[in-house]
Structure 1
């Protein structure tokens, strides 16, 4: 194992786990890990509540901390005892200065966008929702302002026209370890010149704020079929676009939509009408054509292909969404 530098890795989810595995496999000296507390809601349901990074730490005998309070005195003292040279952050909450300012070589973060665009918690979702054709990864030194530190390295990739957020995340995850390791090596060898993020007019910046359930409701009245299509794929598979499906104006259920295709076509139907075709397709009328559902989930049932979903419907006429 490499003796230098001593690394504290900070992360929690499957995206950060990929980078952690790469660092560990290449025998970098990970002296400790900071990760999220166990999920109390999953624990109550009897489901394994450990964050993926914690599971990996346990399996590989790497010391770890799970602070509930990031400025807790006891936690900070334990962190200081690891005496890290550098901290690497991937997919974690905002860190206070007491943490990121500790190591002599600094703390750097991996962000899933081409900064300064798409600062925020959900860049992978927002680049697709906004119909972008490229994105990437950025490493930067953590400083006072969120996602605004000096850029160390950027890697650009193409977004395919039909790509979902889940598919894009997998692509970014595959290159994340290499980007982090390249950044780390350049810092160690003093081959990197941090670049200040450009001062861009705030009106030209596209942000990537956290997405809540209410934000995922589909607005079928949107005049652009492309915008509706992009929103659905940008929220797939999580947190998932949804709508209310009505039966005869009496009953309604929440309907999650994962995969669709768009059919641009002139028609005179009202917006939001749902048609079940002879070929077992479900299409929804929008201003510029139709959205054809490929995969969805009706509340209380499993996620399934649209043909199976249609087979389970007792009512197949006079349907609409809102």
Structure 2
């Protein structure tokens, strides 16, 4: 029986781990990130993969950093035939990449060589892409640059946000890995080098990328809002205070308003001028408040909002 070490951390990885278990693979260990403080109360919280691994009765390792760690030695000593990673969150040292006889493979949430890096789903939506997918690839020392084994694509719907697409791609990755593993184990799989000239990168989201630039078109800002939903969430400022924009649509209003100017207020939404068109604000979160509908905002803390006010 093929002995596997699985490495993953967030919700994205959970269905993939579950599939490996259900298919009867010998999972020698599950490697995930350490428990982290979460929320305002900083409650120490295990990653979703740890919770699933414990539920399945699997051995869990949580190295703060793999390189030079005791956990690294333990993984190598397990002598796995194959290492499978999916959104693990750490670079694998060369000695680990070379350890399994069948290599190390990764389930990556983009159609490589496009969107290498840690935020491929966010970036694809923010860029207004119409399709994305999953790649099963061999891991190499260079970030997401290994040979492609298999790929499968899906459309990005106009209403998809990052949370929705994470779930879709997680299940797509699970199914693609299930279909691909037998050929990897048999040594009959494809191995297609990536075209380096077509490589693009989706690095982890920066604070600057979260801030709305109202000089951009309403369509670009809408893609930013849905690309950052439900985390880390796009934001703007109103009278010096941060306001998170949870959901919006491209507005229909013709306007001569300047970028950031409130140009329309209705009972359940308001519109802000962009560099081209307007953005209809539907859900937001004022500083120090909970997420709320635009209707609740306009009835409460935003009741003094006026046409001609500015978001910056």
TM-score (norm. length: structure 1): 0.91
Output the CA distance in 2 between the equivalents of 1:188 and 1:278. 60
SS in 2 for 1:109: strand
User: Over aligned residue pairs, what C-alpha RMSD do you find?
Assistant: 1.8
Residue 213 (structure 1) aligned with residue 213 (structure 2): no
Cα deviations by residue, 1:267-315 (Å, 9 ceiling, x for unpaired): 2122211256243321111132210011111121111221112222242
Q: Which residue of 2 aligns with 1:249?
A: none
TM-score (norm. length: structure 2): 0.93
Q: Which residue of 2 aligns with 1:64?
A: 60
Say if 1:43 and 1:49, in contact at 8 Å, map to a contact too.
Answer: no
After TM superposition, the structure 1 stretch with the greater mean CA deviation from structure 2, 90-99 or 268-277, is 268-277
Change (3 A) 1:315 1:59: same
Say if 2:150 and 2:190, in contact at 8 Å, map to a contact too.
Answer: no
2:79 pairs with one of 80, 83, 94: 83
Output the CA distance in 2 between the equivalents of 1:206 and 1:162. 24
Q: Which residue of 1 aligns with 2:248?
A: 260
Q: Which residue of 2 aligns with 1:49?
A: 45
1:103 pairs with one of 74, 97, 100: 100
Say if 1:266 and 1:288, in contact at 8 Å, map to a contact too.
Answer: no
Output the CA distance in 2 between the equivalents of 1:69 and 1:234. 29
Residue 271 (structure 1) aligned with residue 237 (structure 2): no
Q: CA deviation at 1:121?
A: 0.7
Residue 295 (structure 1) aligned with residue 291 (structure 2): no
Structure 1 gap ranges (5+): 247-251
Residue 228 (structure 1) aligned with residue 221 (structure 2): yes
Q: CA deviation at 1:265?
A: 4.3
SS in 1 for 2:174: helix
SS in 1 for 2:310: strand
Say if 2:148 and 2:191, in contact at 8 Å, map to a contact too.
Answer: yes
Q: Which residue of 1 aligns with 2:237?
A: 244
Say if 2:146 and 2:194, in contact at 8 Å, map to a contact too.
Answer: yes
Runs of 4+ in 1 over 6 A off after TM superposition: none
Output the CA distance in 2 between the equivalents of 1:287 and 1:54. 45
Output the CA distance in 2 between the equivalents of 1:288 and 1:150. 41
